[in-house]
Amino acid sequence: MRVNENILISSLTTMRLGGPARYVLEIERPEEIPDAYDFAATYNMPTFVLGYGANTIGHDEGFSGAIIINRMHGISETPTPDGINLTIMGGEYWDNVVEYACKKGLTGIEALSKIPGLTGAAPVQNIGAYGQEIADTLESIEVYDTASHTFKTLSHDDLGFSYRKSILNTTEKNRYFVISITLHLTPGQMEPPFYRSIEKYASDHNIKDFSPQGIRAIVSAIRADKLPDPLEKASSGSFFKNIYLTEPEAEIAEAKGYPVYHGKDGYKINSGWFIEKAGFSDKLLHGFRVNPKAALVLINESAKSYQDLAAAREEIVNKVYDIYGYWLEQEPVEIINPPVKIPGVN
Ligand SMILES: Cc1cc2nc3c(=O)[nH]c(=O)nc-3n(C[C@H](O)[C@H](O)[C@H](O)COP(=O)(O)OP(=O)(O)OC[C@H]3O[C@@H](n4cnc5c(N)ncnc54)[C@H](O)[C@@H]3O)c2cc1C
């Protein structure tokens, strides 16, 4: 385990905000995981598990505890009757995994190309894009359970997946350290109808190759056109979640003229539509640019403080609610210090 002290969270997260973390513990072998939690417990420090920091935001005061990062690498294959189970260590960069699978002609994760982050984080918010989500192919994950201090396997069904959710970020938040994940992938390709933007890009460019490599190329091109590369422009991807509706809610929204999309995961409205219509597209708010090509994305152009982000968020959320009556929900998680215990007070 590598132990680092006083590392700026802004250097570990793609939105590039956040003061120093007291410790950053980098795990290189599974046996080190209990040591990392014991280390934090010895000093009575809180812990936060971080990956690439593409969906996590730091606060100005930093973190008085230990950030723990999975730095374990490796991909192994187990043949199954109809395909391959890939077991991937959580420290692998996610897009390298997609590239690996696509090169082998395996379908199941090609539409998840170019999502920044480490593999260990992928099941946490059930990453999804262009009609696929990791829940579609995930068989199981290996974890360290901080409640029982044991290593465990959790199956797909244990994980309670839904849109941007699993037990790992809801009922069992912060309980499990993801060591590795196992995906079941098969030779073949995605079946049409494809996600609207994939259909459009393919027809505009006269593309007929929908093999995993072909879809990866299309998705990569669409994303390069409308999403910032976090290495060049600080952002945490979609800052707001899309709005999911029940059927009666969808009927009301459609009657109001809002663009409701009926996908395989239910009725939804792209929150970016409201942000754009509310007049925020390309606006600079407290140092954050509302991405003109995908208004769900906030780009940190010059903000140095979490307070700036809070102010930009408040402006957008309040105006969208005032005009359209929907509260936008934030997607990225935040690294927050627990309240200080004051004897006799709390
Ligand atoms: C430009 C851009 C585009 C994006 N596009 C998409 C998209 O299309 N679809 C999508 O779903 N997301 C998207 N995201 C969000 C982000 O890429 C994903 O959420 C990704 O999975 C985050 O990985 P990470 O390693 O950076 O996670 P982090 O931000 O480091 O962590 C995210 C959460 O996972 C937890 N976590 C991390 N590693 C582990 C582990 N080993 N064990 C247990 N918990 C862990 C953290 O505690 C935290 O709660 C985008 C982000 C950016 C910046």
Regions of the chain where pLDDT drops below 50:
none
We find that the CATH architecture of domain 75-187 is 2-Layer Sandwich (3.30)
Share of the chain above pLDDT 90, in %: 93
DSSP state of 168: G
Candidate list 238, 271, 289, 313, residue with the active-site label: 238
In this prediction, residue 339 carries a pLDDT of 80
The CATH class, in words, for 234-333 is alpha beta
Alpha-carbon distance 179 to 181, whole Å?
7
Q: Considering the entire predicted model, what is its pTM?
A: 0.94
Question: pLDDT (tens digit, 9 = 90+) per residue, 181-220?
Answer: 999 999 999 998 899 899 999 999 999 999 999 999 999 9
Alpha-carbon distance 198 to 156, whole Å?
28
Give the mean pLDDT of the chain. 95
Smallest Cα–Cα separation from 175: which of 147, 142, 156? Answer: 147
In this prediction, residue 346 carries a pLDDT of 65
Name the segment(s) of the chain with CATH classification 3.90.78.10.
234-333
- Is 331 marked active-site? yes
- Is 313 marked active-site? no
Sign, CA dihedral 70-74-80-83, equals positive
The pocket around ligand 1, CB under 6 angstroms, is made up of 14, 49-56, 70, 90, 115-118, 120-122, 124-125, 127-129, 168-169, 176-178, 227-228, 230, 235-237, 333
In this prediction, residue 328 carries a pLDDT of 97
Which residues are CB-neighbours of 273 under 8 A, at least 6 positions away? 258, 259, 295
Distance 346 CA to ligand 1 centre (A): 33
Q: Environment class of residue 46 by beta-carbon count within 10 Å: exposed (0-12), middle (13-18) or buried (19+)? A: middle
Fold of 2-70: 3.30.43
Name the segment(s) of the chain with CATH classification 3.30.465.10.
75-187
Distance 345 CA to ligand 1 centre (A): 36
Question: pLDDT (tens digit, 9 = 90+) per residue, 153-175?
Answer: 999 999 999 989 999 999 999 99
Which residue has a Cα nearest atom 14 of ligand 1?
Answer: 237
CB of 300 within 8 A of CB of 15?
A: yes
In this prediction, residue 340 carries a pLDDT of 74
